Structure 1
């Protein structure tokens, strides 16, 4: 099994911001997590960092309305972007979130990768695809993380994974697809491996050795 080169357990809350103007200085490396409000984004962040309440989970999807920043070390940050696509959120709020998402993806220089989380039973909804297109246009690598993989049997899970990987080719960008379960930690090592690459863990280790 892959052993992560970065200790994600060291993640600590830094700040919540209504827009990119209120975020920390645009330097270092950031990796952002985004997804529909019921995609299990908070659970995935908590699983990654081995912290039960780093990212707030709620039985009412759509509660994350701010850009939440978590520090891993002085130069690396995890970003929890506002959830999108939940029907009970007022239209004005949805529009504000979409503007914040687009602004962050297109203008944040320190952003080096985007994790788009989707319920494996309902992948590639229109808003998911819009988000990936934005990222590809901004030349950002994307990891599609198919969450709640434990909800499907092995055969159905593999079938969906292969179908989404094939569909992802149409984005014409650096798009990777893995399945994931916060419940049984399936896919956690795949997630860590992609994040380590984006965070430049290999380069950092090489500098230390040299």
Structure 2
């Protein structure tokens, strides 16, 4: 898809703040620092629309990015090692659960996983949680440029096995450095928009 317009449309922490446009939405979930912001920026052809941070846990709200006035990417707070209080983490958890479980416009969650490492306990928990609530999942194995192309299959096999991946769920090898997987990701998203 050719992105001609992209902007941070809405920032929300509770349902009454969500956009009311009725447009399809795709949630982005991943461990803190896994490269969600870099993924968003590469997909939208923007250098700094989603701010990347050296400090994990920077996203503390649901950020709705409006793309071509036709679809939203919704960046949710990263899970895992963000240095925040237990109370804050619980509040985020509740905010993410409320959004993912109750949002009719949500077409799928793009779960971003670092291709270099075996999925973490948090990655597994998130995937199992999404499957439990029957939320469609598109797995994005990012940072592909950091390992030789010849090893991609081996690493993807580990991801499939560790997550006990459902055959229906796409697994896309992606790199925000080289744009590897960008077209495949857009084609998958467009297909899910029609479901």
Is the pair's TM-score, using the shorter chain for normalization, greater than 0.5? yes
Shift in Å, 1:176: 1.6
Gaps of at least 5 residues in structure 2 are none
Is it true that 1:197 corresponds to 2:185 in the alignment? no
CA-based RMSD: 2.0
Matched positions, count = 195
Is it true that 1:34 corresponds to 2:33 in the alignment? no
Is it true that 1:15 corresponds to 2:10 in the alignment? yes
Relative distance call for 1:56 and 1:87 in structure 2 (3 A) is closer
Residue matched to 1:207: none
Residue matched to 1:55: 50
- Tell me, in whole angstroms, the C-alpha distance in 2 between the residues paired with 1:109 and 1:185: 30
- Tell me, in whole angstroms, the C-alpha distance in 1 between the residues paired with 2:188 and 2:118: 20
- Tell me, in whole angstroms, the C-alpha distance in 2 between the residues paired with 1:196 and 1:83: 24
Gaps of at least 5 residues in structure 1 are 204-210
Relative distance call for 1:61 and 1:9 in structure 2 (3 A) is farther
Residue matched to 2:155: 160
Q: Is the 8 A contact 1:9 1:48 kept in 2?
A: no
Runs of at least 4 residues off by over 4 Å:
none
Q: Is the 8 A contact 2:118 2:158 kept in 1?
A: no
- Tell me, in whole angstroms, the C-alpha distance in 1 between the residues paired with 2:92 and 2:132: 19
Residue number among 85, 88, 98 corresponding to 1:93 in the alignment: 88
Is it true that 1:176 corresponds to 2:170 in the alignment? yes
Shift in Å, 1:73: 4.2
| TM-score where L is the length of structure 2 | 0.90
Listed one character per residue, the Cα deviations across residues 131-177 of structure 1 (whole Å, up to 9, x for unaligned) are 22222233222111111111111232221012323444x35474221
Is it true that 1:141 corresponds to 2:128 in the alignment? no
Shift in Å, 1:71: 1.2
| SS in structure 1 of the partner of residue 172 of structure 2 | strand
| TM-score where L is the length of structure 1 | 0.84
Q: Is the 8 A contact 2:57 2:84 kept in 1?
A: yes
- Tell me, in whole angstroms, the C-alpha distance in 1 between the residues paired with 2:167 and 2:135: 8
